Amino acid sequence: MYTMSLFMTLARYYSDYGYYGTRSTSDHIGIYIVLYLAVIIIPLIAQINVSSTFKKYSKIGNSRGLTADQVARQILDSNGLHYVEIEHIKGNLSDHFDPRTNVVRLSDSVYGQTSVAAIGVAAHECGHACQHAESYGPILLRSKLVPVTNICSHLWYIVLIIGCVLSAFTIGTALIYVSIAMFAAVVIFQTVTLPVEFDASNRALKTLANDGILEPSEVPHAGKVLKAAALTYVASLLASVLQLFRLLLSTRRR
């Protein structure tokens, strides 16, 4: 996100000042600065929040002494997903479910840990496994969007810069609009991701409570961790929407 923002700043500087000439500092510079800072600060705050929340509840162990990987195995088996494997991976909060290989991967901060935070994260990833097994609509749509989104997320700002460099020609203007369309595809993907993440968290909390994995007093703690994690997706989407608005605002000035 920060690299993309840097490219965006260079591209916007060139298109706004490099080709059309110097503009009044009181024209749109204020709103550009606000949007630029928001794009950087909003996701950063969300990331700090999830890290601090996870750290806080990592100090609270579950009363049954279960490890996160044991809980993951229990949840998967109870849903008939005996074929889904659990792997230990390096990193911190890099946990994910890989539908291509049917593997739930748990990071160092989760695998083998007994905290309510780790168990909440593990249950969340099992929720994704259940979504795929049940052909949950939003996650199927998200999977179909992945190939296009991967291309657009890596290339949109490059196309934008090339378009700005060639802005004196018709092809340049066309490329700028293509780059905006590519970034819009990323925003759509992030929008589709939200219900997927919220549903996985809801599944996790219901399972932890209904199956008696966590005590009633422990479930809210896991819920706070999952809520903080979900807010990172909300923050990312909000930042992207602001970025898209900044792009559209710029084209309107042409």
Give whole-number Cα distances, 38 to 31, 65, 157, 235, 236, in Å: 10, 42, 18, 10, 11
CA separation (Å) from 185 to 146, 153, 182, 233? Answer: 10, 8, 5, 16
Nearest to 118 by CA among 49, 25, 204: 204
Plot region of 83 (φ>0 → left; ψ -120 to 50 → alpha; else → beta)? alpha
CA dihedral (81, 87, 88, 94) in degrees, to 10, reads: -70
Read off φ and ψ for residue 86, nearest 5 degrees: -125, 130
Alpha helices, DSSP H, located in 97-218: 116-133, 137-165, 170-210
CB 92 within 8 A of CB 109: yes
The torsion angle over the Cα atoms of residues 213, 217, 219 and 221, rounded to 10 degrees, is -130
Q: Which residues are catalytic?
A: 125
Contacts of 3 (CB under 8 A, 6+ apart): none
Read off φ and ψ for residue 39, nearest 5 degrees: -60, -35
